[in-house]
């Protein structure tokens, strides 16, 4: 099981952008689907974006058109470009493999990266 380390979070004003990265300790080439989850205070963790190893992407309605997920199999890294950020995007963001066809995570959780959007 690969170890995943998230980075790139921070404090940004509403309307700003951030790019999150998720570095894997080994190859992600064989991982069929990977995704970004987030957990806001007092809420359940939710899947916001996913990508397959063929490049097919899917997004939660709340982030569609604003977030873009990508993966670089050569660098063993998953990315999440977040634009037009809103205060409701404030959460800890985690990456993980996805146990398809569900949206359940396939591995252990990393430490996550905090994203805070001020109004």
pLDDT band at 48 (very low <50, low <70, confident <90, very high): very high
Residue 2 has pLDDT above 80, yes or no: no
**Tokens representing 14?**
């509403």
Using CA atoms, how far residue 37 sits from 28, 97, 118, 119, in Å, is 17, 10, 20, 22
pLDDT digits (tens, 9 = 90+) for 59-112: 999 999 999 999 999 999 999 999 999 999 999 999 999 998 888 999 999 999
Instruction: Provide the CB-side half-sphere exposure for 77 (13 A, CA).
Output: 13
**Tokens representing 22?**
């998720």
* pLDDT for position 100: 87
């Amino acid at each position: 099981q690969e170890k995943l380390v998230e980075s790139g979070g921070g404090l940004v004003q509403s309307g700003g952008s951030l790019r999150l990265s998720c570095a894997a300790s080994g190859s992600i080439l064989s991982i069929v689907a990977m995704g970004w989850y987030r957990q806001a205070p007092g809420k359940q963790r939710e899947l916001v974006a996913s990508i397959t190893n063929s490049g097919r992407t899917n997004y939660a309605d709340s982030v569609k058109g604003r977030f873009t997920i990508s993966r670089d199999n050569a660098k063993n890294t998953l990315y999440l470009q977040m634009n037009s950020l809103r205060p409701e995007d404030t959460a800890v963001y985690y990456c993980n493999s996805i146990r398809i066809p569900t949206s359940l995570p396939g591995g252990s959780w990393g430490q996550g990266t905090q994203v805070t959007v001020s109004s």
